[in-house]
Amino acid sequence: MSWVAINSQEGVSESFVTLPTIDQKRILPHGTLPINILNINDLNYTLNNVSELCFDNGTKKTLLIEGYYPHTFGIWATHKLYRITYQIEGGGEQYIVAKIMNKKYGEKEFKLLLDLSECLNVPTPFHFLYDEELGKEDFFDVRGILWMNYVENQIHFEEYLLNWCITGQKKLELKDLTKSLCALWSAGVKHNDLKGEHLLFTGDEWFIIDFEKSVPYSGKEDIKDELAVLIGDSTAYFDGFITYHKISFEGVIKERYLAFINEFLSCFDINLKGNRYISVFSSAIQNKVLKSIYLSLGVG
Ligand SMILES: Nc1ncnc2c1ncn2[C@@H]1O[C@H](COP(=O)(O)OP(=O)(O)O)[C@@H](O)[C@H]1O
Ligand SMILES: [Mg+2]
Protein backbone atom coordinates (compact mmCIF):
# COMPACT_ATOMS: atom_id res chain seq x y z
CA MET A 1 0.00 0.00 0.00
CA SER A 2 2.55 2.60 -1.03
CA TRP A 3 -0.13 5.00 -2.23
CA VAL A 4 -2.85 6.16 0.11
CA ALA A 5 -5.96 7.85 -1.29
CA ILE A 6 -6.24 11.37 0.07
CA ASN A 7 -8.88 13.16 -1.91
CA SER A 8 -11.25 12.60 -4.80
CA GLN A 9 -14.38 14.11 -6.32
CA GLU A 10 -16.24 12.60 -3.36
CA GLY A 11 -14.11 14.44 -0.79
CA VAL A 12 -11.33 13.42 1.61
CA SER A 13 -10.94 9.65 1.62
CA GLU A 14 -11.85 7.40 4.49
CA SER A 15 -8.45 5.66 4.37
CA PHE A 16 -6.71 9.00 4.93
CA VAL A 17 -9.07 10.22 7.65
CA THR A 18 -8.70 7.03 9.66
CA LEU A 19 -4.88 7.09 9.63
CA PRO A 20 -3.19 8.14 12.88
CA THR A 21 -2.27 11.85 12.80
CA ILE A 22 1.44 11.06 12.74
CA ASP A 23 0.99 9.04 9.53
CA GLN A 24 -1.21 11.72 7.98
CA LYS A 25 1.70 14.09 8.57
CA ARG A 26 4.04 11.74 6.72
CA ILE A 27 1.77 12.04 3.72
CA LEU A 28 1.02 15.74 4.02
CA PRO A 29 4.20 17.11 5.60
CA HIS A 30 4.47 20.66 6.86
CA GLY A 31 5.10 22.98 3.94
CA THR A 32 3.09 21.00 1.38
CA LEU A 33 0.57 23.81 1.43
CA PRO A 34 0.04 26.73 0.42
CA ILE A 35 -0.02 25.17 -3.06
CA ASN A 36 -3.22 23.41 -2.46
CA ILE A 37 -2.76 19.90 -3.69
CA LEU A 38 -6.01 18.93 -1.98
CA ASN A 39 -8.16 21.19 -4.08
CA ILE A 40 -9.51 19.22 -7.03
CA ASN A 41 -10.64 22.39 -8.85
CA ASP A 42 -7.16 23.92 -8.61
CA LEU A 43 -5.67 20.72 -9.92
CA ASN A 44 -8.08 20.52 -12.84
CA TYR A 45 -7.31 24.11 -13.70
CA THR A 46 -3.56 23.46 -13.59
CA LEU A 47 -3.70 20.25 -15.59
CA ASN A 48 -5.79 21.90 -18.29
CA ASN A 49 -4.22 25.35 -18.46
CA VAL A 50 -0.50 25.05 -17.88
CA SER A 51 0.81 24.58 -21.40
CA GLU A 52 3.64 22.23 -20.36
CA LEU A 53 1.05 19.83 -18.96
CA CYS A 54 -1.21 19.92 -22.03
CA PHE A 55 0.39 17.00 -23.88
CA ASP A 56 -2.88 15.06 -24.13
CA ASN A 57 -5.77 16.15 -26.33
CA GLY A 58 -9.01 16.69 -24.49
CA THR A 59 -10.01 18.02 -21.11
CA LYS A 60 -8.52 16.34 -18.07
CA LYS A 61 -10.57 15.61 -15.01
CA THR A 62 -8.93 14.70 -11.71
CA LEU A 63 -10.28 11.51 -10.20
CA LEU A 64 -7.99 10.83 -7.27
CA ILE A 65 -5.06 12.28 -5.33
CA GLU A 66 -2.85 9.85 -3.44
CA GLY A 67 0.10 10.43 -1.15
CA TYR A 68 3.22 8.27 -1.01
CA TYR A 69 3.41 6.16 2.11
CA PRO A 70 5.99 3.39 2.16
CA HIS A 71 4.80 0.43 4.18
CA THR A 72 7.85 -1.73 3.69
CA PHE A 73 10.03 -2.91 6.49
CA GLY A 74 12.31 -0.45 8.15
CA ILE A 75 11.43 2.62 6.09
CA TRP A 76 10.08 5.53 8.07
CA ALA A 77 10.25 8.64 6.02
CA THR A 78 8.14 11.62 5.18
CA HIS A 79 7.51 12.27 1.53
CA LYS A 80 6.10 15.17 -0.38
CA LEU A 81 5.01 13.25 -3.39
CA TYR A 82 1.56 12.81 -4.86
CA ARG A 83 0.12 10.64 -7.59
CA ILE A 84 -2.79 12.13 -9.43
CA THR A 85 -5.16 9.96 -11.43
CA TYR A 86 -6.99 11.85 -14.12
CA GLN A 87 -9.24 10.98 -16.99
CA ILE A 88 -9.13 12.53 -20.41
CA GLU A 89 -12.54 13.22 -21.94
CA GLY A 90 -13.74 10.03 -23.55
CA GLY A 91 -10.48 8.23 -22.75
CA GLY A 92 -8.82 6.08 -20.11
CA GLU A 93 -7.25 6.88 -16.80
CA GLN A 94 -3.73 8.29 -16.57
CA TYR A 95 -1.31 9.04 -13.78
CA ILE A 96 0.91 12.03 -13.23
CA VAL A 97 3.27 12.70 -10.32
CA ALA A 98 3.50 16.00 -8.39
CA LYS A 99 6.45 16.56 -6.08
CA ILE A 100 6.26 19.57 -3.78
CA MET A 101 9.63 21.30 -3.61
CA ASN A 102 11.15 24.67 -2.87
CA LYS A 103 12.38 26.73 -5.81
CA LYS A 104 16.06 25.88 -5.54
CA TYR A 105 15.62 22.10 -5.40
CA GLY A 106 12.66 22.00 -7.78
CA GLU A 107 14.57 23.82 -10.50
CA LYS A 108 17.64 21.72 -9.87
CA GLU A 109 15.78 18.41 -10.08
CA PHE A 110 13.80 19.48 -13.14
CA LYS A 111 16.94 20.39 -15.05
CA LEU A 112 18.79 17.24 -14.03
CA LEU A 113 15.89 14.98 -15.02
CA LEU A 114 15.65 16.75 -18.35
CA ASP A 115 19.37 16.35 -19.09
CA LEU A 116 19.62 12.79 -17.77
CA SER A 117 16.54 11.54 -19.62
CA GLU A 118 18.72 11.74 -22.74
CA CYS A 119 21.05 9.02 -21.52
CA LEU A 120 19.41 6.88 -18.81
CA ASN A 121 16.08 5.85 -17.29
CA VAL A 122 14.69 8.64 -15.14
CA PRO A 123 11.11 9.93 -14.93
CA THR A 124 10.35 12.44 -17.70
CA PRO A 125 9.98 15.88 -16.14
CA PHE A 126 7.16 18.04 -17.53
CA HIS A 127 7.40 21.29 -15.63
CA PHE A 128 8.42 22.96 -12.41
CA LEU A 129 5.42 25.09 -11.56
CA TYR A 130 6.27 27.97 -9.25
CA ASP A 131 4.36 31.13 -8.43
CA GLU A 132 7.01 33.82 -8.99
CA GLU A 133 4.67 36.55 -7.69
CA LEU A 134 4.14 34.73 -4.41
CA GLY A 135 7.85 34.03 -4.28
CA LYS A 136 8.64 37.75 -4.60
CA GLU A 137 6.42 38.66 -1.69
CA ASP A 138 7.66 38.07 1.80
CA PHE A 139 5.96 34.74 2.29
CA PHE A 140 7.90 32.24 4.27
CA ASP A 141 8.56 28.90 2.56
CA VAL A 142 6.84 29.18 -0.83
CA ARG A 143 6.81 25.81 -2.63
CA GLY A 144 6.43 24.78 -6.23
CA ILE A 145 5.33 21.57 -7.91
CA LEU A 146 7.62 19.40 -10.00
CA TRP A 147 5.44 17.51 -12.47
CA MET A 148 6.81 14.31 -13.92
CA ASN A 149 5.64 11.06 -15.42
CA TYR A 150 4.67 8.14 -13.24
CA VAL A 151 6.97 5.10 -13.23
CA GLU A 152 5.11 1.88 -12.50
CA ASN A 153 7.32 0.52 -9.75
CA GLN A 154 7.18 -3.20 -8.98
CA ILE A 155 9.90 -3.28 -6.38
CA HIS A 156 12.68 -1.22 -4.84
CA PHE A 157 16.29 -2.39 -4.85
CA GLU A 158 16.41 -3.35 -1.14
CA GLU A 159 13.21 -5.39 -1.50
CA TYR A 160 14.68 -6.98 -4.58
CA LEU A 161 17.74 -8.06 -2.60
CA LEU A 162 15.46 -9.45 0.09
CA ASN A 163 13.39 -11.40 -2.43
CA TRP A 164 16.46 -12.75 -4.12
CA CYS A 165 17.91 -14.02 -0.83
CA ILE A 166 14.75 -15.20 0.90
CA THR A 167 12.15 -16.24 -1.64
CA GLY A 168 14.36 -17.95 -4.21
CA GLN A 169 13.56 -15.54 -7.02
CA LYS A 170 15.04 -17.05 -10.20
CA LYS A 171 17.05 -14.35 -11.91
CA LEU A 172 19.01 -11.24 -11.09
CA GLU A 173 18.17 -8.36 -13.44
CA LEU A 174 20.95 -5.95 -12.67
CA LYS A 175 22.61 -5.31 -16.03
CA ASP A 176 20.32 -2.49 -16.99
CA LEU A 177 20.79 -0.86 -13.58
CA THR A 178 24.56 -0.97 -13.73
CA LYS A 179 24.40 0.51 -17.24
CA SER A 180 22.23 3.37 -16.00
CA LEU A 181 24.52 4.03 -13.06
CA CYS A 182 27.57 4.21 -15.33
CA ALA A 183 25.67 6.54 -17.67
CA LEU A 184 24.81 8.75 -14.69
CA TRP A 185 28.43 9.13 -13.60
CA SER A 186 29.56 9.63 -17.20
CA ALA A 187 27.02 12.44 -17.47
CA GLY A 188 28.93 14.12 -14.62
CA VAL A 189 26.44 13.50 -11.82
CA LYS A 190 26.93 11.91 -8.40
CA HIS A 191 23.48 10.98 -7.12
CA ASN A 192 24.62 11.35 -3.52
CA ASP A 193 21.59 9.61 -2.01
CA LEU A 194 21.67 6.33 -3.88
CA LYS A 195 19.57 3.88 -1.92
CA GLY A 196 16.90 1.29 -2.63
CA GLU A 197 14.10 3.77 -2.25
CA HIS A 198 15.49 5.76 -5.16
CA LEU A 199 15.64 2.88 -7.62
CA LEU A 200 12.37 1.77 -9.20
CA PHE A 201 12.01 -1.44 -11.16
CA THR A 202 9.24 -1.71 -13.73
CA GLY A 203 9.78 -5.44 -14.22
CA ASP A 204 11.97 -4.79 -17.28
CA GLU A 205 14.00 -1.75 -16.45
CA TRP A 206 15.45 0.15 -13.51
CA PHE A 207 14.78 3.86 -13.09
CA ILE A 208 16.83 6.24 -10.93
CA ILE A 209 14.92 8.98 -9.07
CA ASP A 210 15.25 11.81 -6.51
CA PHE A 211 18.19 13.95 -7.55
CA GLU A 212 17.71 16.56 -4.85
CA LYS A 213 21.01 15.81 -3.10
CA SER A 214 23.09 15.23 -6.23
CA VAL A 215 26.44 16.97 -6.76
CA PRO A 216 28.87 17.11 -9.69
CA TYR A 217 30.76 13.85 -10.19
CA SER A 218 34.38 14.27 -9.28
CA GLY A 219 36.08 10.90 -9.81
CA LYS A 220 36.24 7.23 -8.87
CA GLU A 221 35.92 7.90 -5.13
CA ASP A 222 32.37 9.01 -5.84
CA ILE A 223 31.57 5.62 -7.39
CA LYS A 224 32.87 3.95 -4.23
CA ASP A 225 30.67 6.20 -2.10
CA GLU A 226 27.58 5.49 -4.18
CA LEU A 227 28.06 1.73 -4.17
CA ALA A 228 28.99 1.53 -0.47
CA VAL A 229 25.84 3.48 0.39
CA LEU A 230 23.55 1.50 -1.91
CA ILE A 231 24.82 -1.87 -0.73
CA GLY A 232 25.03 -0.65 2.88
CA ASP A 233 21.49 0.69 2.92
CA SER A 234 19.99 -2.45 1.38
CA THR A 235 22.11 -4.68 3.63
CA ALA A 236 20.90 -2.78 6.71
CA TYR A 237 17.34 -3.25 5.49
CA PHE A 238 17.96 -6.94 4.87
CA ASP A 239 19.55 -7.25 8.31
CA GLY A 240 16.52 -5.58 9.92
CA PHE A 241 14.25 -8.08 8.21
CA ILE A 242 16.16 -11.21 9.18
CA THR A 243 16.68 -9.97 12.74
CA TYR A 244 13.01 -9.14 13.15
CA HIS A 245 11.84 -12.47 11.74
CA LYS A 246 14.64 -14.38 13.52
CA ILE A 247 15.88 -15.86 10.23
CA SER A 248 19.39 -17.25 10.42
CA PHE A 249 21.89 -15.95 7.91
CA GLU A 250 23.39 -19.18 6.63
CA GLY A 251 23.11 -21.75 3.84
CA VAL A 252 21.21 -20.65 0.72
CA ILE A 253 20.43 -17.20 2.12
CA LYS A 254 24.10 -16.45 2.71
CA GLU A 255 25.12 -17.88 -0.69
CA ARG A 256 22.53 -15.76 -2.41
CA TYR A 257 23.60 -12.61 -0.60
CA LEU A 258 27.19 -13.24 -1.67
CA ALA A 259 26.12 -13.96 -5.26
CA PHE A 260 24.21 -10.70 -5.33
CA ILE A 261 27.15 -8.67 -4.07
CA ASN A 262 29.57 -10.40 -6.45
CA GLU A 263 27.37 -10.05 -9.49
CA PHE A 264 26.59 -6.43 -8.74
CA LEU A 265 30.11 -5.31 -7.91
CA SER A 266 31.73 -7.22 -10.77
CA CYS A 267 29.93 -4.89 -13.20
CA PHE A 268 32.02 -2.00 -11.94
CA ASP A 269 35.77 -1.92 -12.09
CA ILE A 270 35.99 -0.79 -8.49
CA ASN A 271 37.24 -1.89 -5.09
CA LEU A 272 35.38 -0.48 -2.09
CA LYS A 273 38.48 -0.70 0.07
CA GLY A 274 38.81 2.10 2.59
CA ASN A 275 35.49 3.71 1.81
CA ARG A 276 34.24 5.78 4.76
CA TYR A 277 30.62 4.66 4.35
CA ILE A 278 31.43 1.01 4.98
CA SER A 279 32.06 1.60 8.68
CA VAL A 280 29.04 3.90 8.94
CA PHE A 281 26.61 1.28 7.59
CA SER A 282 28.25 -1.71 9.23
CA SER A 283 27.57 -0.21 12.65
CA ALA A 284 23.85 -0.43 11.82
CA ILE A 285 24.05 -4.14 10.95
CA GLN A 286 23.30 -6.49 13.85
CA ASN A 287 23.85 -9.95 12.35
CA LYS A 288 27.51 -10.74 13.01
CA VAL A 289 28.15 -12.78 9.84
CA LEU A 290 26.38 -10.28 7.62
CA LYS A 291 28.29 -7.44 9.27
CA SER A 292 31.63 -9.14 8.67
CA ILE A 293 30.80 -9.78 4.99
CA TYR A 294 29.78 -6.17 4.46
CA LEU A 295 32.86 -4.95 6.37
CA SER A 296 35.07 -7.14 4.21
CA LEU A 297 33.98 -5.14 1.15
CA GLY A 298 36.04 -2.33 2.59
CA VAL A 299 39.25 -4.28 3.19
CA GLY A 300 41.49 -6.62 1.23
N1 LIG B 1 8.08 9.44 -11.00
C2 LIG B 1 7.71 8.56 -10.06
N3 LIG B 1 6.92 7.51 -10.37
C4 LIG B 1 6.54 6.62 -9.42
N5 LIG B 1 6.89 6.69 -8.14
C6 LIG B 1 7.70 7.70 -7.76
C7 LIG B 1 8.16 8.68 -8.70
N8 LIG B 1 8.94 9.55 -8.04
C9 LIG B 1 8.97 9.14 -6.75
N10 LIG B 1 8.23 8.03 -6.57
C11 LIG B 1 8.02 7.31 -5.28
O12 LIG B 1 7.92 8.26 -4.24
C13 LIG B 1 8.97 8.10 -3.29
C14 LIG B 1 9.45 9.47 -2.83
O15 LIG B 1 9.96 10.19 -3.96
P16 LIG B 1 11.30 11.03 -3.89
O17 LIG B 1 11.55 11.62 -5.24
O18 LIG B 1 12.37 10.19 -3.30
O19 LIG B 1 10.87 12.20 -2.93
P20 LIG B 1 11.35 12.63 -1.47
O21 LIG B 1 12.25 13.78 -1.72
O22 LIG B 1 10.10 12.98 -0.79
O23 LIG B 1 12.09 11.47 -0.84
C24 LIG B 1 10.02 7.26 -4.02
O25 LIG B 1 10.75 6.46 -3.13
C26 LIG B 1 9.22 6.43 -5.00
O27 LIG B 1 8.78 5.23 -4.43
MG1 LIG C 1 13.60 10.42 -1.66
Q: Which domains does the chain have, with CATH numbers?
A: 3-148 (3.30.200), 155-296 (1.10.510)
How big is the chain, counted in residues?
A: 300
* Ligand 1 binding pocket mutation candidate from 81, 160, 230 (most atoms within 8 A of CB): 81
**SS3 category, 98:** strand
- Half-sphere exposure in the Cβ direction for 26 (13 Å, CA): 16
Q: Which residues are CB-neighbours of 149 under 8 A, at least 6 positions away? A: 96, 97, 123, 124, 126
Q: Is the pLDDT of residue 287 over 70?
A: yes
Distance 92 CA to ligand 2 centre (A): 29
- The predicted pLDDT at position 74 comes to 59
pLDDT at 224: 96
Tens digit of each residue's pLDDT (9 = 90 or more) over 5-27: 999 999 899 999 999 888 888 88
- pLDDT of the residue at 77: 78
Residue ranges of alpha helices (H) inside the chain are: 14-17, 21-27, 40-49, 103-116, 132-136, 157-166, 175-186, 220-244, 252-266, 276-282, 288-296
Note whether 63 and 86 are within 8 A (CB): yes
| pLDDT, tens digit (0-9, with 9 covering 90-100), for 24-44 | 888 888 766 545 667 888 899
By C-alpha distance, which of 210, 213, 261, 234 is closest to 72? 234
Measured from the CA of 70, which atom of ligand 1 is nearest?
A: 27
- Mapped onto helix, strand or coil, the DSSP state of residue 168 is coil
The protein residue with its alpha carbon nearest to ligand 1, atom 1, reads 150
More confident residue, 300 or 115: 115
Measure the CA angle with vertex 76, ends 74 and 81; round to 5°: 130
Q: Which residue has a Cα nearest atom 17 of ligand 1?
A: 210
User: pLDDT tens-digit profile of 53-98?
Assistant: 988 888 999 999 999 987 766 567 788 899 999 999 888 899 999 9
Ligand nearest, relative to CA of residue 80: 1
Q: What pLDDT is attached to residue 269?
A: 84
Question: What is the pTM (predicted TM-score) of this model?
Answer: 0.94
Confidence class for position 220, pLDDT limits 50, 70, 90 = very high
**Backbone φ and ψ of 131, nearest 5°:** -85, 95
Cα–Cα dist 225/295, whole Å: 14
Ligand 1 pocket by Cβ (under 6 Å): 68, 79-81, 97, 99, 123, 148, 150-151, 153, 197-198, 209-210, 212
Ligand 2 centroid – CA 145 distance (Å): 15
- Using most ligand atoms within 8 A of CB, pick from 68, 110, 124, 205 the residue to mutate for ligand 1: 68
User: What whole-number distance in Å separates Cα of residue 287 and Cα of residue 284?
Assistant: 10
Contact between 49 and 41 (Cβ < 8 Å): no
Percent of the chain exceeding pLDDT 90 equals: 73
Per-residue confidence (pLDDT) for residue 79, from 0 to 100: 85
| Residue in 32, 66, 79 to alter for ligand 1 test, most ligand atoms within 8 A of Cβ | 79
Q: How far is it between the farthest Cα atoms of the chain? A: 63
Q: What is the pLDDT of residues 142-166, one digit of tens each?
A: 889 999 999 999 999 999 999 999 9
Q: Answer whether 61's CB lies under 8 Å from 96's CB.
A: no
Q: How far is CA 67 from CA 29, 64, 82, 83, 229, in A?
A: 10, 10, 5, 6, 27
First and final CA of the chain: distance in angstroms? 42
Tell me the three-class secondary structure of 169-221, residue by residue: CCCCCCHHHHHHHHHHHHCCEECCCCCHHHEEECCCCEEECCCCCCEECCCHH
6 CA from centroid of ligand 1 (Å):
17
